[in-house]
């Protein structure tokens, strides 16, 4: 069993319609785009690791998905990327962890996009290697411990929500339940895009303004 097949085997039901239809959204992403289309042909979007990892479905909005719930909608400039003022350009975000940090295709690599800072870090050069990284260290790559603990106390995380820190981690917020709140994923990205713009060129210790953007 490949790493991709393993992740699929432990995931939810597909979030989008099957079989997968239009894949034109992947044009321009080369081999990685073809690999992502192949993954979604096997299962068109899903949650796994107790909703800590969310892979977006392609095409028609899927079961229970709302506003920005499909890969196509999620990657529209006006959904949330505009708030990053260029930091999120030239990437196709296909999955997210429990905190809303993005996994994306960019420049021939699979990268992790930090929602608070806009920093992009390469992870792997193929989807199979990305899947292996996630399986080998799912606590780090998905935030599963926090997802498990929060849902043990509060019940299932609603569809379309991520656990967003009230005080951003980059500003000293703690990795603990008291600092996490279930926020609409789009609003969470827009608010942190505004933060990323503010801190992009600021020296350590400078003041920033936290804004919640619906």
Percent of the chain with pLDDT over 90: 76
Asked if the model's pLDDT at residue 66 lies above 70, the reply is no
pLDDT at 49 > cutoff 70: yes
Once rounded to an integer, what is the mean pLDDT over residues 124-145? 98
**What's the pLDDT tens digit per position in 74-114?**
999 999 999 999 999 999 999 999 999 999 999 999 999 99
Say yes or no to pLDDT of 156 above 80. Answer: yes
Please write down the HEC assignment for all residues of the chain: CCHHHHHHHCCCCCCCCCCCCCCHHHCCCHHHHHHHHHHHHHCCCEEECCCCEEECCCCCCCCCCCCCCCHHHHCCCCCCHHHHCCCCCCCEEEEECCCCCEEEEECCEEEEECCCCCCEEEEECCHHHHHHHHHHCHHHHHCHHHHHHHHHHHCCCCCCEEEEECCCHHHCCCCCHHHEEEEEHHHHHHHHHHHHHHHCCCCCCCCCCCCCCC
pLDDT at 162 over 70: yes
pLDDT top residue among 208 and 81: 81
Residue pair 115/192 in contact by the 8 Å Cβ criterion = yes
């Amino acid at each position: 069993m490949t790493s991709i097949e393993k992740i699929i085997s432990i995931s939810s039901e597909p979030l989008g319609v099957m079989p997968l239809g239009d894949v034109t959204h992947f044009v321009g992403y080369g081999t990685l785009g073809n690999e992502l289309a192949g993954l979604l042909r096997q299962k068109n979007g899903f949650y796994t690791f107790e909703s800590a990892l969310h892979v977006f479905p392609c095409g028609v909005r899927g079961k229970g998905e709302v506003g920005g719930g499909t890969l196509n909608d999620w990657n529209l400039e006006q959904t949330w990327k505009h708030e990053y003022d260029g930091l999120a350009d030239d990437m196709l975000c296909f999955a997210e962890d429990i905190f809303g940090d993005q996994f994306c295709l960019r420049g021939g690599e699979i990268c992790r996009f930090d929602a608070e800072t806009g920093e992009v870090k390469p992870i792997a050069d193929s989807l199979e290697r990305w899947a292996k990284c996630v399986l080998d260290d799912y606590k780090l790559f998905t935030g599963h411990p926090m997802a498990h603990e929060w849902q043990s106390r509060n019940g299932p995380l609603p569809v379309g929500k991520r656990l967003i820190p009230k005080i951003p981690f980059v500003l000293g917020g703690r990795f603990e339940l008291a600092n996490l709140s279930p926020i609409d994923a789009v609003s969470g990205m827009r608010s942190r895009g505004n933060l990323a713009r503010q801190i992009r060129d600021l020296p350590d210790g400078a003041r920033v303004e936290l804004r919640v953007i619906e």
